[in-house]
Structure 1
Amino acid sequence: MKRTKIPFSTTLCLVLIAFGGSVAMAQTSTFNQRQTSHVWKSKHGNFQFNGKATKKEGNYVTFRTTDSFEITLPVKYLSDEDLAYLKYLEGSGPLPPGITAAAGSSSPGTTPPTGGMANNQGPSTDDTAMNEGTTDPAEPMPTEPETGDPTQSYAPGASVDVMVDGKWYPGKVIVVRPSDNHYYVTFNMNGQGRPAWIAASELRPQKAATTSDTSPMPGSSDEPLESFDFKGIPVTAKKEIGYDVGPMREGDTLKLRYVSGKWKSWGNLASESPDADAPAGGDKVRLAICSVSGGNQAQTLTLVPGGTADTPFIWQADKDYEKIILQINDPDKTFADNPERGVTYAIAIVRAGP
């Protein structure tokens, strides 16, 4: 498969034209950046991305994604919830339910309007921004025969490998288009950053984050346990110990955020996301936080709900645990019979003070 490189700014200009024409002179309102990063979605669900609203000019609003790209879109194409959130950011409406305001801010508000032309150039094509968040190998990965899973879904910000001409290159998801399971990604090809819309069948979770290693995090009962920030980990559905987190002490806090992948605890096709609001099978596809002591069977402590790609799930240890593990919530505990595939979560631990 050969691809023609199209500048990101050109792509977004074409999107703006398709959305309804040019941007005229308009007053500009700049949003306070104390707002938290938010998952912005279109009215009809054909795209979504993570970022902050930076300014509004007439009927257009500009965003900066968590990967430092700038996107300008017509306001009318945002979901009703996001339109309400924009009103809150402007100081003209309440905070919509389910959205968290920045700490110490009852309403971020905007700066006074200024005149100016709306930005219709789309994201920056600066190589530094384009390469941000990806590795930079001198050569592509070796040719491999496997392809991506066309049924797998990815969240904005997920680290992925991109298939081009039979070779995999490391990249990151910027914008999600659920309508046809396509993703706008940036990836490094022979040391150069490139953006493109890629089908799920030509993506896979980044190889570095999908190994079968289930060793515990650093630390043991004889060593001080340290806090660490979010890092991607694979969780397999084929074993009781889907991932070994390790020991946790009373007061330690575990944070989990869904990144990518689908699995099931029955049947032959791994087709359900544990992060969906209402997945087929319900709790049978949820991620379970369990404790293991000695040679006993794992005891489920709690289930991780859906929606963690937007808001991480937080669990705090109520006592000392010899070992905490993650597993698919398989009711019959026949893990080896589950369909192949696993999921990827980002995990962080905040250790309690002495």
Structure 2
Amino acid sequence: MSIFRCHCLPVFSLIFVGLIAGSSFAQNVSYPTSQTNYTFKSKYGNFEFTGKALKREGEFVQFRTTDRTEIWIQVKHLSDPTLSYLNYLNGQGPAPTDLAGGPSTPGTGPGSMTNNPNSGSPGTPTDNGTSAPMETKPADPLKGDPDKVYTPGTAIDVLVDSKWYPGKVFARRPSDNAYFVSYSVDGRPKSGWIPAVELRPQGEEQPMTADPMEDDAADDMSSGDLSSFDFKNVKITAKDPVGYVVGPMNKGDVLKLQYVSGKWKTWGGLATASPDDQIPAGGNKCRMGICALFPNNDLQKLTLVPGQTVNNPFSWTADRAYDKIILQVNDDDGDFASNPDRDVTYAISIERAAAQ
């Protein structure tokens, strides 16, 4: 009996240690803030962006891109070098071989323009830094260069119905040189994957006639409709970056929100998460966001509406004057078009600050 116990105890100890190690690996991880920018890539090379890793929660990792956009990606979609880098940040492995040479190819720094060597696109830079001749040119002279490479954070113009609108690059898909961009058409912010031929560096070729947001912003500020109002029900859809336009707010104005009904989600096909739950599915990814939309189409997330407002309305006070305040689902990946087509209803009110 003593021999049996002598042989089995080490085995049980190893199993116990393994369970502890597995449990600690699955726990939440916060990555060091002192890290440099790194180019993170997907498992199959169809998605990449430059930035920093913030934290891991279960099977999701939160990143912040170089243009301050925060996104969540499942671990199973990340490439082996990216996983090795995350382990290195967590003190669980050596530095990846590509870290010393920069976040992309050797000789390039963070945020540098890179090409996919397997894309086979004409005009790809050669080893000596020169470009091979283009085999074809776009037939429409207004279109952009199909082989132009843009880095995340680059200000670009997007071609829509023969007109150019300002936008910004969030991520690159090397397989077909397409880009996930955020832009605005006639005052409505949009986002999605756009091929390089429909992009150009901002301000090139024909000048834009006007910022599409200027007229809307001017109308809002000149309407004179800056009075206080009691609670009224409004719907916010999960598929639209501008779920609901609250309008202009001055410093000291108070916006109150109270959940009424509805469910949505920022992934999958079923809308099963309530933004008013104490802990909604996906954490804050299904919360209601209060954002500022600026005349240059930049969108700034100001705060998130917490849960359990159905009996206790949430109040937010404007810290400055804003041309346009909007409500939207807190979709960190920016791909609103792929969200389930559902909306939620909130009762909102505004208390205007006394004129100074």
Query: Which bracket does the TM-score occupy, shorter chain normalised?
Result: 0.3 to 0.5
Q: What is the TM-score of this pair, normalised by structure 1?
A: 0.37
Write 1 or 2 for the structure with the bigger share of helix. Answer: 2
Q: What is the TM-score of this pair, normalised by structure 2?
A: 0.37
